[in-house]
Structure 1
C-alpha cells in the first residue's frame, strides 16, 4: 500500500536515565500495510523507544511521531494506536470481560465490541474467569484485546509473543499478517530471530541504544541470512567492539548491499 507519509516516524531519538543512556540515536519509519520488527538484544533500547513514541517517556532530543503528530496530541489516541508494552497491571480478581468493560468505558468504545474481541484473541471460553488463574500467554492475549478495543489502525507491541505457546505464536503471527494486509501498521519489538523471519516486512536492528541498520527484510537478507546479519551487527555476536553503519529508513528503497557495508 502506498502512502504519502509514514504512519510512525522516529528521528534521531535520544533518552538517558541518570548516567545510563537508554537510547542514543534511533531513526526509522513504519508504513501502512506492513509489519516492522524492531530487533535487538535485551537492553538495546527497544522498549524505551516505544515508550517515547507512546508519550510514556520524554526524549531529550529527536522526534517520535504518529501520522506527523506526537501521541499526546492525538485527539483519540486509543482509536488510532493500540499498544501492548507488558501484560501486567491486571487486577487478579477481575475477569477478562470486566477488564475490557472498564477499558471500553474509558476510551469511549462500544461495549458490543467486547465479545467479538474476546473471540478474536482466543479468550471467549475464559472470558468470565478471574485473571489470577491466567497463564502468561493468556495475559498477553488479554493485553492485546485491550489494545484492539478502539479498533486502531496502528499496533505497537513490545515482545508480544512472550509467554505464548507454539499455537499461540502461530495465531499471533497470522493475526498480525492479516492486520497489515488490511492496511494496518504494526511495530513490534523482539529478540527472536525466527519470528522476525516469519512475520516482518521491514527490519530495524538496534543495539546499545542505536539503530544500526534498517530496511526491507528481503533486501537486507538477500546476501546474508538473518542470523548472520544480526550477529555481525550487534554485541550479541561478539565481545569485541564492532564498527556499525546504518542503512536507509525502513520502508525506503535504498536497501541494497550498500546498506550492509
Structure 2
C-alpha cells in the first residue's frame, strides 16, 4: 500500500475580503512526482506557501503524519522547497549558501560538493551570488532545496530561467531523486516538461481543485487527430465539415477523430472527390490541450 507523505485538507485562504483558496484537499504519495497545474492566479503558489507555513491559512496540513501549521512546523524539517524566487544573499558565494543550508554538518563538505556536481554549478559556485544570471540563481535555489535530501520537495516553476540543457539536466535529476524515494510537488507553466515528469496531477482553477487524476488517465482521455496534406486543402476542409468532421487547424488539415469520424471515412470521402492525399500523420492532444479542455468544461 502506498504511504501518504502530504495531506492537505480543506485549505482556505483569504486576502482581505477576497477568498483565494476554497476547501483545497489532496494527498501526495511517497516516491511520486505530483504536478500542480492551473492558470496564472489559480492559487498554486498560495497552496505551496500554505504548506510551507510561509502564510497563515485555515485547514489541515500533515507531512509524514505530523501536523504542520503556521505556529508549529517541525514537520518542515523533512521538506525542501523553491517557491517563487530563491532567497539569495548577494555577497555570499553559491558554496557558502549550500554550507549554510546543510543540516548534517558531519558530512557537510562532501554533500555540498555532491549537489554542486549534480547541478553542474562548479564553474561559478565560488563567485559571489550578485554576479549570477537568473538561470544561475535558479539552479542554486534548486540545489538549496535538494541539498538535505528531503523526503518531500516543493518546486514552484523550477525551470524558470533555465536553458534547454539545464532543463533536461534538472528533469533527469528530479527523476533520479524520485527513484530514491523522494516525493516532488511541482508546478510549471511549461506543460511539455511537466508531461515528462509528473505521474499524478492536481488541477486548480480559481482556487479550487477541479480534478485529481494521473497523467496516464488524463492523456488516455485525450482527443486524437489525423494531420493531412492534400493537393487541395480548402476543398478537403469544406467536404469534411459538410459531413460533420471537426477541423482544428487548416494548414495542414488537423481533423478530430471520433468513433464515427475515422481515418477510413476521411480517405473514402476525399478519394471519391478525387482529392490527392500527400501525407497522413496521427497525433494525440498533449497535456496543454487536455488541461485547457478540462478548465473550459
TM-score normalized by the length of structure 1: 0.82
Give the greater-gyration-radius structure (CA): 2
Whether 1:68 and 2:71 are equivalent positions in the alignment is no
5-14 vs 30-39, which moves further: 5-14
Confirm or deny: 8 A CA contact 2:79 2:151 kept in the other structure: yes
Q: Can you list the C-alpha shifts for 1:87-113, whole angstroms capped at 9, x where unaligned? A: 343121211011122223xx4544222
Residue aligned with 1:214, SS? strand
Gaps of 5+ in 2: 223-284
Aligned to 1:259: none
1:148-159 to 2 correspondences below 5 Å: 148-159=146-157
Aligned to 1:213: 211
Aligned to 1:254: none
The structure whose residues are more often strand, as a share, is 2
- 1:198 counterpart (196, 199, 202): 196
Alignment CA distance shift 1:217-1:76 (3 Å): closer
Aligned to 1:94: 92
Q: Can you list the C-alpha shifts for 1:118-138, whole angstroms capped at 9, x where unaligned? A: 111111221111111211111
Q: Tell which has more relative contact order, 1 or 2 (C-alpha 8 A, sep 6+).
A: 1
Residue aligned with 2:123, SS? helix
TM-score normalized by the length of structure 2: 0.73
1:1-261 to 2 correspondences below 5 Å: 2-3=1-2, 5-60=3-58, 62-71=59-68, 73=72, 75=74, 77-78=76-77, 80-104=78-102, 107-109=103-105, 110-112=107-109, 113-224=111-222, 225=285, 226-234=287-295
What's the offset of the Cα at 1:213? 0.3
Confirm or deny: 8 A CA contact 2:68 2:75 kept in the other structure: no
Aligned partners of 1:22, 1:162: CA distance in 2, in Å? 24
Alignment CA distance shift 1:136-1:43 (3 Å): same
Confirm or deny: 8 A CA contact 2:53 2:73 kept in the other structure: no
Aligned partners of 1:86, 1:218: CA distance in 2, in Å? 28
